[in-house]
Amino acid sequence: MMKKRIEHKAIIFDMDGTIVDTNNIWDNATQKLLLSKGVSYTPAIHKTVRELLMGGAGGLRYGCALLKQMFDLKETPEELAAEKKAHAHAEYANGVRFIEGFTDFHAKITHVPKSIATNADDRTLELTNKALQLERYFGQHIYGISQVNHVGKPDPSIFLHAAAKLGYAPADCVVIEDSATGIKAAKAAGMYCIGINTHGNRDMLTLADIIVDGYHEIDFLDVY
């Protein structure tokens, strides 16, 4: 398969689902949350909920607001979010890992300015960094939702913030994203976007400039 050749000056990565595989962690957290509320967590419910929450659209609180509405839960979205987050964070030390192919791809672009721009909160970033030593790969260019007043994707703020911190115009940045929400944010920021199909669902990625099935398909050429 021919590689996709990309010519931009900097790369901005989403985190969960793009460089870090936490699907099982957050799936388990959702299951534990709903079971604790008396919801019968059948395979059909799991599929429906997973599709609903795919990509973290609007952030954790928004996702929990959807769960509250769907299952008529008595707790507030904030209370549900705190409980779900606690379930997930308990698994981070041993459960989080890099997406297949990311470390090999990173080894080929060590000279390229790069950052993380994620909807994740500070505690999630802290736990992920501790488990995977993200600073070895991105230095201090790791930006979470708290740095843009908790305004999440599809708003472009987090991508624009990352570009500004890297010192590049949005048009000079390429974003790698795994979700429809993130792709919308990248395009709203005026950035070229690669949709990486880590979820096995290309239909979610149709707004991306190109879609790849893994890092092995990306050939990044900087244009200094």
Nearest to 172, CA basis, from 6, 9, 4, 5: 9
Contact assessment for residue 14 and residue 198, using Cβ atoms and an 8 Å cutoff: no
State the CATH number of the domain containing residue 103. Answer: 3.40.50.1000
Q: Give the span between the Cα atoms of 176 and 212, in whole angstroms.
A: 10
| 13: Cα separation from own chain's centroid | 8
User: 83 and 120 in one domain?
Assistant: no
Say what the pLDDT of residue 104 is.
95
Name the amino acid, one letter, at 184. Answer: K
Q: Domain boundary residue among 95, 117, 146?
A: 95
Q: What tokens does 88 get?
A: 């997930």
Domain that holds residue 27: 23-95
User: What pLDDT digit, counting tens, does each position of 56-107 carry?
Assistant: 555 678 889 989 999 999 999 999 999 999 999 898 878 899 999 999 999 9
**What burial class does residue 38 get, using C-beta atoms within 10 Å of its C-beta: 0-12 exposed, 13-18 middle, 19+ buried?**
exposed
User: 121 and 183 in one domain?
Assistant: yes
Scanning the structure block, which residue is given the tokens 């239909």?
Answer: 203
How large is the average pLDDT for residues 136-145? 96
Scanning the structure block, which residue is given the tokens 């050939």?
Answer: 219
Question: Partners of 29 in the beta sheet?
Answer: none
Say what the pLDDT of residue 199 is.
85
- 213 sits in the region (left: phi over 0; alpha: psi -120 to 50; else beta) called alpha
Query: End-to-end CA distance of the chain, in Å?
Result: 27
Structural domain count of the chain: 2
Q: What is the band of 1 on the pLDDT scale with cuts at 50, 70, 90?
A: very low
How large is the average pLDDT for residues 119-137? 93
Q: Domain boundary residue among 95, 114, 148?
A: 95
What are the Cα distances from residue 2, in Å, to 5, 60, 109? 9, 37, 19
Q: Give the span between the Cα atoms of 66 and 87, in whole angstroms.
A: 18
